[in-house]
Structure 1
Amino acid sequence: MKRIYKVVATVLLAISANSTFAQQNVQFSQYVFNGLAVNPAYAGYKEEWTAQVLYRTQWVNLPGAPKTGTLSIDGLTDFNRKNMGLGFQVTTDQLGPQKTFSAYANYSYRLRLDEYDTKRLCFGLGLGISQYSLTGDDLTYIDLDDQGIPVGTQSTMSPDLRFGVYYYSPNFYAGASVMDLFADYMATKLQGVDATFPVIKKTRHYYVTAGGLIQLNEKISWKPSFLVKDDFNGPTNLDLTSFLAYDNKVWLGASWRTGIKLWGQDHLKSNLRMADAYSILAQFYVSDRFRVGYAYDHSLNDLSSYEDGSHEISLSFSIPSRKRAEKVLSPRYF
Structure 2
Amino acid sequence: MTKYIKLMRATMFIAILAVSQIVLSQQDSQYTKYMYNTETVNPAYAGNRGVLSFAGLYRTQWVGINGAPKTMNFSVNSPVSERVGLGLSFFNDEIGISTENNVAIDFSYTLPLNDDELYLSFGLKGGLNILDVDYGKLNPNVITDPAFHPSNNIDGQLSTIIGAGLYLRHRDKWYIGLSSPSLLETEHYDDVTISTASELMHLYLIGGYVFDLTPEWKFKPAFLLKAVDGAPLAADLSANFLYANKLTLGAAYRWDSALSGLLGFQVTDNIMLGYAYDYDLTDIGNYSSGSHEIFFRFELGKQGSGIINPRFF
TM-score, normalization by structure 2: 0.89
List alignment gaps of at least 5 residues for structure 1: 259-274
Determine whether 1:215 maps to 2:212: yes
Secondary structure at the aligned position of 1:151 is classed as helix
Determine whether 1:31 maps to 2:25: no
Q: In the superposition, relative to structure 1, how do residues 125 and 317 fare at CA in structure 2: closer, same or farther (>3 Å)?
A: same
Shift of 1:193: 4.1
Shift of 1:328: 8.8
Determine whether 1:10 maps to 2:14: yes
Q: What residue number does 2:94 align with?
A: 94
* Aligned partner letter, 1:42: Y
Alignment of 1:69-84 (within 5 A): 69-78=72-81, 82-84=82-84
- The equivalent position to 2:230 in structure 1, one of 228, 233, 239, is 233
Q: What residue number does 2:4 align with?
A: none
Q: What residue number does 2:295 align with?
A: 314
Q: What residue number does 1:269 align with?
A: none
Q: What residue number does 2:147 align with?
A: 147
Q: Deviations over 1:42-100 (max 9, x none)?
A: 0001010100111000000101000011010001011xxx2000011000000011000
**Contact 2:117/2:306, CA 8 A, preserved across alignment:** no
CA distance in 1, matches of 2:280, 2:145: 37
**Contact 1:15/1:22, CA 8 A, preserved across alignment:** no
Alignment of 1:85-234 (within 5 A): 85-115=85-115, 117-142=116-141, 146-151=146-151, 153-155=153-155, 156-169=157-170, 170-183=172-185, 186-189=186-189, 191-196=190-195, 200-234=197-231
Q: Deviations over 1:230-258 (max 9, x none)?
A: 10311100000000111121010000001
| Alignment RMSD | 2.4
* Aligned partner letter, 1:304: G
Higher share in strand = 2
Shift of 1:303: 0.4
**Contact 2:125/2:163, CA 8 A, preserved across alignment:** yes
Higher share in helix = 2
* Aligned partner letter, 1:138: K
* Aligned partner letter, 1:26: S
Shift of 1:132: 0.4
Determine whether 1:48 maps to 2:23: no
Shift of 1:11: 4.5
CA distance in 2, matches of 1:69, 1:84: 27
CA distance in 1, matches of 2:135, 2:19: 19
Shift of 1:187: 2.5
Of 154-163 and 100-109, the range deviating more from structure 2: 154-163
**Contact 1:72/1:88, CA 8 A, preserved across alignment:** yes
Q: In the superposition, relative to structure 1, how do residues 165 and 137 fare at CA in structure 2: closer, same or farther (>3 Å)?
A: same
* Aligned partner letter, 2:262: L
**Contact 1:76/1:85, CA 8 A, preserved across alignment:** yes
CA distance in 1, matches of 2:18, 2:280: 13
Q: In the superposition, relative to structure 1, how do residues 211 and 153 fare at CA in structure 2: closer, same or farther (>3 Å)?
A: same
**Contact 2:46/2:85, CA 8 A, preserved across alignment:** yes
* Aligned partner letter, 2:93: D
Q: In the superposition, relative to structure 1, how do residues 14 and 295 fare at CA in structure 2: closer, same or farther (>3 Å)?
A: farther
Q: In the superposition, relative to structure 1, how do residues 12 and 248 fare at CA in structure 2: closer, same or farther (>3 Å)?
A: farther
List alignment gaps of at least 5 residues for structure 2: 1-7
Q: In the superposition, relative to structure 1, how do residues 192 and 219 fare at CA in structure 2: closer, same or farther (>3 Å)?
A: same
Aligned length: 301
Q: What residue number does 1:263 align with?
A: none
CA distance in 1, matches of 2:181, 2:53: 23
- The equivalent position to 1:68 in structure 2, one of 56, 66, 71, is 71
Q: What residue number does 1:279 align with?
A: 260
Q: In the superposition, relative to structure 1, how do residues 14 and 226 fare at CA in structure 2: closer, same or farther (>3 Å)?
A: farther
CA distance in 1, matches of 2:176, 2:295: 22
CA distance in 1, matches of 2:262, 2:31: 12
Q: What residue number does 2:251 align with?
A: 254
* Aligned partner letter, 1:242: A
Q: Percent identity?
A: 32
Q: What residue number does 1:290 align with?
A: 271
Shift of 1:152: 7.1
**Contact 1:102/1:129, CA 8 A, preserved across alignment:** yes
Secondary structure at the aligned position of 1:201 is classed as strand
Secondary structure at the aligned position of 2:261 is classed as strand
